[in-house]
Amino acid sequence: MKGEGNEKFTGVYQYQDDAIDRAREIAENYGSDVIIHRADGTIRDRRSYKKK
């Protein structure tokens, strides 16, 4: 898992579900989006967590 514009990884997870859960927590805190990629780099899903 890597934040936009970051060179270093925020976290490395064995399972994609674990990475998605952590990314969701971070996105909820910052009111940002999570973009989920497939292994080939294409976008699988995008989830928005805007602050209310």
Average pLDDT over residues 10-21: 93
The two tokens of residue 47 are 């989830």
* 52 pLDDT more than 80: no
| CB proximity list for 47: less than 8 A, separation 6 or greater | 24, 27, 33, 34, 36
Average pLDDT over residues 10-29: 93
pTM of structure: 0.78
Average pLDDT over residues 4-29: 92
Q: Which residue has the higher pLDDT, 6 or 48?
A: 48
The answer to which of 9-13, 17-21, 26-30 has the lowest mean pLDDT is: 9-13
